[in-house]
Amino acid sequence: MEQQTLRQFEARCIQDEPPVCQTQCPLHVDARNLARLIAGGKISEARRLLDRTMPLAGLAGYLCEGPCRGHCRRREVDEPIDMPLLERFCIARSRFAKPMPLPPTGKKAAIFGSGLSSLAAAWELGRKGHSVHVFHVGPPGRSLIDVPAEKLPETALKETLGQLAAVRTTFEAAENFSPEQLDSAKKKFMAVYLGFDDPALKAVDFNMSEPIPVEPATLAALTGRIFASREPSFIGQLAAGRRAAGSIDRLMQGVSPATAREAEATYPTKLYTNLAKVTVKPQKPPADPLAPTPEEAMEEAGRCIQCECLECVKNCAYLRHYKGHPKKYAREIYNNLSVVHGLRKANNMINSCAECGLCKEICPLEADSGQFIAKARLEMTAASRMPPSAHEFALEDMLYSNSPAVAFFRHQPGADHSAWLFFPGCQLPPSLPGETAAVYEHLRDRLAGGVGFALGCCGAPAKWSGRQKLTQTVRDDLHKIWEEAGRPQVILACASCSLFFQAELAEIPAITLWDVLAETELPATGRAAAEELALHDPCAARHDPKTRQSIRTIARRLEQPIRELPLSGELTRCCGYGGLASAANPEVGDLIAGDRAGDSDLTMLTYCIMCRDRLKGVGKPSLHLLNLLFPNAPMEKAALRKPPGISERQEGRLEFRRDLLFKCWGESPAPGWLMNSFPMHISEELASRLERRRILTSDLAAVLRHAKEHGAQFFNRETGRYLTSLRPRQVTFWVEYSLDDDGAYTIHDAYCHRMVVPGVPGCGAGSPASLEGYAAKGGRA
């Protein structure tokens, strides 16, 4: 992946952008974090934060006027956070840490005036190792002496002057200021700062135009190595002193004072914060505003809404699971792609994304994490760096669906041409076989010109996994079927199929089943459920408004009450099937489905069979729209129907093919069409375990058949059970079983692995010789 791709994506993620209170603060104090620390009672940490970002915090914390209050997002709900109160509390309840200035540089600067900006400039320069000489009239900090003691304690200025002495700052009193003093200072010092917030400096004529013109970014006067400011507010004076010190430090280092200074000024932030769920909580004024109690300060700090975006993370279980945000993930993925040899720790994260597109729709800047991750999958697959285990089962299932044993095409019975071609996909027939057959019959009755039928998989799993060549192969096969059918209009029942056709087979005219049904007479069997249903749009229909509208039209014509979910239409959630998320990471897949299931207490209604089955798989009663249009069971029972397992899906496709071919075309199945001819007893608990381990009953049958034909098995005398294995592909299957009196096999356990250990049965080539060779060396077969 090009680094530019990473940079472009990172620029779209605004989570790391600072909050508006920080960007609009002249000192860029991290007010959000300060509030968080005080709310948590971490006063010492809060003081350290102030000392890092606020020059002379022990003084400035009492004087800050709080310009951030005018920009606080909380004020859009009730009242802004009282940041000056929190700063005063923090300073009053904590101690200043001893300063640790940099080693002496041997360079000197002069400062005229001892106002707040002059003291701030002296502090910043002294910390960087420079010697600072402050010329003042009257006592140092004279302009602050008049501040009421209840606002600025007398000890604060005294402590501040002591801190300045600790960073090589010396003070020299004078009766007044004069142009001669300035000329002398220009000769003795590398730079001079004029702090006009000191009243003693305001009346002096320095033989320069009045007011002295300065460059805003650097505060450099037009007369050379002189810097100056004239700020009315305390916070502005602190910022001016810091900025002037930065310019002088650059000048002393031989660096341009003007380069890259934009971020030092106030600026707008790109950070977006959703206030929809922020509750009203007005400020409770403390008994003494100048001396709040810890409880009062913590309560006020707790009102801070901690501005952040995280819109995608809030609405995506996948992003929440990996405990970060897109910019962080993007960097991890980029680094993962850069690994030549070694452990690629981000593989599982890359393969667990459903690529549903919600993150892009919900992001203020449309950052598309799914697209970024899809690109990573493509690159890893092309470079042979993607482990096959993540997607292998799903791809083998796709290939099986498109094998001659399952896939077929026929014209409508009695026809040799098709104006239409119904393509239900690979998941609908095994899950709702009767309803799928009824749909085909309905279409034949309603549409003229002949409706052909094609069974198979569209190729979406290949595309999701990043296998471009395999995707192209499936695409070409579908194109050939379409050509053979006479180039008909294809009717798609699956939202993922529809999305795949749009992307990979745009030349084929396609329409969704739901658009057809909405525009024709509905089946007479259609009826509404007895209750209101929550309508779930599949993520694959996110950008298909016509189909979404057709669904609502059908529901209205059925007089079915539906409730729109909080996130629906273009903002709909995913069920975890897309992108092969549940195949690669079942835990994350279930979290994704669980998020959607928790959006409503009602029974769900959807028009994607995998959405229906995934939702029911996490315990959510769910219906497919075909349950309403072609009901063959009570709605309550249909909503609770257990989704078919992986073995049942494969066997269900075979049975659907057999039944439909016989019913419509009078064709009988070929001998040996059954996947599993071995009688087996499998407990419900073991069946659940096999499901999680992705072990099919046909895999068990293949292992048992191999053991029966070759006699290659271990026998445990104590339990009376056999143990045998087979490596038919890149996976070794082990099966523990016993033989019943009736010749059936009782399966007690089964597992699989990918290890290859020569000489150990089940871990080598998988041939009978490997087991027999092991037995010959002392094992019992």
Pair (77, 116) in one structural domain: no
| Model confidence, pTM | 0.86
For residue 645, pLDDT over 60 is answered with yes
Q: What is the pLDDT of residue 208?
A: 60
Pair (698, 626) in one structural domain: no
Q: What is the pLDDT of residue 223?
A: 65
Give residue 763's pLDDT band: very low, low, confident or very high (50, 70, 90).
low
Q: What is the pLDDT of residue 751?
A: 94
764, 758 Cβ separation under 8 angstroms:
yes
Pair (115, 260) in one structural domain: yes
> Where is pLDDT greater, at 776 or 78?
78
Number of other CB atoms surrounding residue 178 within 10 Å: 13
Residue 601 included in any domain: yes
DSSP H helical segments within 505-580, as ranges?
Answer: 513-519, 545-557
Residue 147 included in any domain: yes
Q: What gap in Å lies between CA 723 and CA 716, rounded to an integer?
A: 8
Pair (575, 639) in one structural domain: yes
User: DSSP letter string over 7-19?
Assistant: HHHHHH--TTSPP
How big, in percent rounded to 5, are the helix, strand and coil portions of the chain?
Answer: 45, 10, 45
Is residue 538 reached through a cis peptide bond, with omega within 30 degrees of 0 on the bond before it?
A: no
DSSP 214: B
Residue 476 included in any domain: no
Q: What is the pLDDT of residue 387?
A: 82
Instruction: Give the three-state DSSP class for 563.
Output: strand
Range of weakest confidence among 355-359, 384-388, 627-631: 384-388
Final residue before a domain boundary, out of 586, 620, 643: 643
Which pLDDT tens digit goes with each residue over 182-201? 989 999 999 999 999 999 88
Residue 539 included in any domain: yes
User: DSSP letter string over 630-695?
Assistant: S--S-HHHHHTPPPP-HHHHHHHHHHHHHHHHHHHH-PPPPTT--S--S-EE--HHHHHHHHHTT-
Pair (175, 229) in one structural domain: yes
DSSP 742: T
Report the length, in residues, of the chain: 781
Residue 675 included in any domain: no
Pair (146, 56) in one structural domain: no
* Phi/psi-derived region of residue 666, left when phi > 0, alpha when psi is between -120 and 50, beta in every other case: left
CA trace torsion 551, 553, 558, 562 (10° rounding)? 70
Backbone angles phi, psi at 707, to 5 degrees: -65, -40
For residue 767, pLDDT over 50 is answered with no
Among 461, 85, 577, 573, CA closest to 287: 85
Q: What is the pLDDT of residue 293?
A: 95
* 43 contacts: CB under 8 Å, gap ≥ 6: 37, 90, 93, 94, 294
Domain count, the chain: 5
For residue 772, pLDDT over 50 is answered with no
Q: What is the pLDDT of residue 150?
A: 86
Q: What is the pLDDT of residue 779?
A: 31
Number of other CB atoms surrounding residue 562 within 10 Å: 18
The pair of three-digit structure tokens given for residue 40, joined into one six-digit string: 């948590």
Q: What Rg value do the Cα atoms of the chain yield, rounded?
A: 37
Final residue before a domain boundary, out of 342, 359, 386: 386
Q: What is the pLDDT of residue 99?
A: 83
Number of other CB atoms surrounding residue 183 within 10 Å: 11
The bridge status of strand 745-753 relative to strand 732-739 is antiparallel
* 592 contacts: CB under 8 Å, gap ≥ 6: 316, 317, 318, 354, 573, 574, 575, 576, 581, 582
> Where is pLDDT greater, at 343 or 78?
78
> Where is pLDDT greater, at 263 or 437?
437
Which pLDDT tens digit goes with each residue over 90-111? 999 998 888 889 999 999 999 9
The bridge status of strand 680-681 relative to strand 714-716 is unpaired
Instruction: Give the three-state DSSP class for 157.
Output: helix
For residue 340, pLDDT over 90 is answered with no
The pair of three-digit structure tokens given for residue 404, joined into one six-digit string: 């001659």
Number of other CB atoms surrounding residue 441 within 10 Å: 15
Range of weakest confidence among 366-380, 478-492, 748-762: 748-762
Backbone angles phi, psi at 604, to 5 degrees: -85, 145
* Mean pLDDT, residues 163-181: 92
DSSP 340: S
Among 177, 178, 182, 204, CA closest to 193: 182
Q: What is the pLDDT of residue 764?
A: 53
Residue bearing tokens 């026998």: 715
Cα angle for residues 607, 612, 613 (degrees, 5° grid)? 140
Q: What is the pLDDT of residue 96?
A: 84
Residue 730 included in any domain: yes
Pair (28, 175) in one structural domain: no
104, 131 Cβ separation under 8 angstroms:
yes
Q: What gap in Å lies between CA 576 and CA 592, rounded to an integer?
A: 5
Residue 712 included in any domain: yes
DSSP 220: B
What share of the chain in percent tops pLDDT 70? Answer: 94
89, 38 Cβ separation under 8 angstroms:
yes
Among 189, 207, 208, 201, CA closest to 248: 189
Q: What is the pLDDT of residue 675?
A: 61
Reported as half-sphere exposure (CB side, CA atoms, 13 A), residue 510 has a value of: 27
Pair (625, 745) in one structural domain: no
62, 153 Cβ separation under 8 angstroms:
yes
Final residue before a domain boundary, out of 355, 386, 417: 386
The pair of three-digit structure tokens given for residue 584, joined into one six-digit string: 């690669």
Pair (555, 618) in one structural domain: yes
For residue 336, pLDDT over 50 is answered with yes
- Whole-number average pLDDT of the chain: 91
Instruction: Name the β-bridge partners of 97.
Output: none
* 379 contacts: CB under 8 Å, gap ≥ 6: 1, 337, 466
Q: What gap in Å lies between CA 420 and CA 516, rounded to an integer?
A: 11
Pair (237, 191) in one structural domain: yes
Q: What gap in Å lies between CA 575 and CA 582, rounded to an integer?
A: 9
Which pLDDT tens digit goes with each residue over 651-662? 999 999 999 999
Q: What is the pLDDT of residue 341?
A: 58
Pair (123, 236) in one structural domain: yes
The pair of three-digit structure tokens given for residue 67, joined into one six-digit string: 């310009």
> Where is pLDDT greater, at 410 or 142?
410
CA 455 from chain centre, in angstroms, equals 36
* Mean pLDDT, residues 511-522: 97
* Mean pLDDT, residues 515-538: 96
User: DSSP letter string over 461-515?
Assistant: HHHHHT-HHHHHHHHHHHHHHHHHTTSPEEEE--HHHHHHHHHH-TTS-EEEHHH
Pair (117, 260) in one structural domain: yes
Three-state SS annotation for 102-156: CCCCCCEEEEECCCHHHHHHHHHHHHCCCEEEEEEECCCCHHHHCCCCCCCCHHH
Backbone angles phi, psi at 137, to 5 degrees: -110, 125
671, 452 Cβ separation under 8 angstroms:
no
Cα angle for residues 56, 72, 263 (degrees, 5° grid)? 55
Handedness of CA 451, 455, 459, 464 (dihedral sign): positive
Q: What gap in Å lies between CA 26 and CA 690, rounded to an integer?
A: 63
CA 689 from chain centre, in angstroms, equals 30
* Mean pLDDT, residues 621-636: 96
Backbone angles phi, psi at 72, to 5 degrees: -60, 130
Which pLDDT tens digit goes with each residue over 245-273? 999 999 999 999 999 998 899 999 999 99
Q: What gap in Å lies between CA 634 and CA 637, rounded to an integer?
A: 5
132, 122 Cβ separation under 8 angstroms:
yes
326, 369 Cβ separation under 8 angstroms:
yes
The bridge status of strand 420-423 relative to strand 169-174 is unpaired
For residue 597, pLDDT over 80 is answered with yes
Q: How far apart are the first and last CA of the chain?
A: 52
Residue 587 included in any domain: yes
Q: What is the pLDDT of residue 723?
A: 95
Burial class (CB in 10 A: 0-12, 13-18, 19+), 7: exposed
Q: What is the pLDDT of residue 759?
A: 63
* Beta-strand runs (E) in 568-644: 604-606, 622-624
For residue 214, pLDDT over 90 is answered with no
Q: In angstroms, what CA-CA distances link 750 with 327, 585, 774?
A: 42, 21, 20
CA 281 from chain centre, in angstroms, equals 30
Range of the domain at 723: 680-777
Q: What gap in Å lies between CA 399 and CA 462, rounded to an integer?
A: 10
Backbone angles phi, psi at 230, to 5 degrees: -145, 85
